[in-house]
């Protein structure tokens, strides 16, 4: 029985390994739409929603954008710009 399942599983797995994918640097470059070298939370949201649909993980992105609001970076130690 295992011999019959093994080849079928290998064929299914092979289709995923042959699919081209973006590297991390390509994804970062695609997210950085204003080409300033910094990927903002908003740019990440737009990129992910472009692949998964508008409103994808809305609560998570709303919280991330709120946490990053008025800061030079999203860290807890950064000061407000204004």
Alpha-carbon gap, residue 16 to 41, rounded angstroms: 29
Query: Does residue 64 belong to any structural domain of this protein?
Result: yes
Q: No. of H helices and E strands in the chain?
A: 4, 0
Query: Does residue 34 belong to any structural domain of this protein?
Result: yes
Give the chain's domain count: 1
Query: Does residue 14 belong to any structural domain of this protein?
Result: no
User: Among 13-22, 26-35, 42-51, 64-73, where is mean pLDDT lowest?
Assistant: 13-22
The domain of 38 spans 21-74
Which of the four pLDDT bands, split at 50, 70 and 90, describes residue 66?
confident
**pLDDT digit string (tens) for 34-59?**
888 888 888 999 999 998 999 898 99
Instruction: Say what the pTM is.
Output: 0.56
More confident residue, 79 or 58: 58
Distance set, CA 72 to CA 19, 32, 41, 46, 64 (Å): 37, 16, 12, 19, 14
Alpha-carbon gap, residue 50 to 27, rounded angstroms: 12
Query: Does residue 8 belong to any structural domain of this protein?
Result: no
């Amino acid at each position: 029985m295992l011999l019959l399942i093994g080849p079928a599983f290998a064929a299914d797995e092979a289709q995923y390994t042959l699919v081209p994918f973006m590297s991390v640097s390509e994804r970062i470059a695609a997210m950085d739409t204003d080409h300033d070298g910094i990927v903002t939370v908003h740019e990440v949201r737009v990129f992910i929603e472009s692949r998964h649909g508008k409103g994808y993980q809305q609560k998570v992105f709303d919280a991330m954008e709120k946490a990053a609001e008025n800061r030079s970076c999203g860290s807890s130690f950064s000061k407000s710009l204004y």
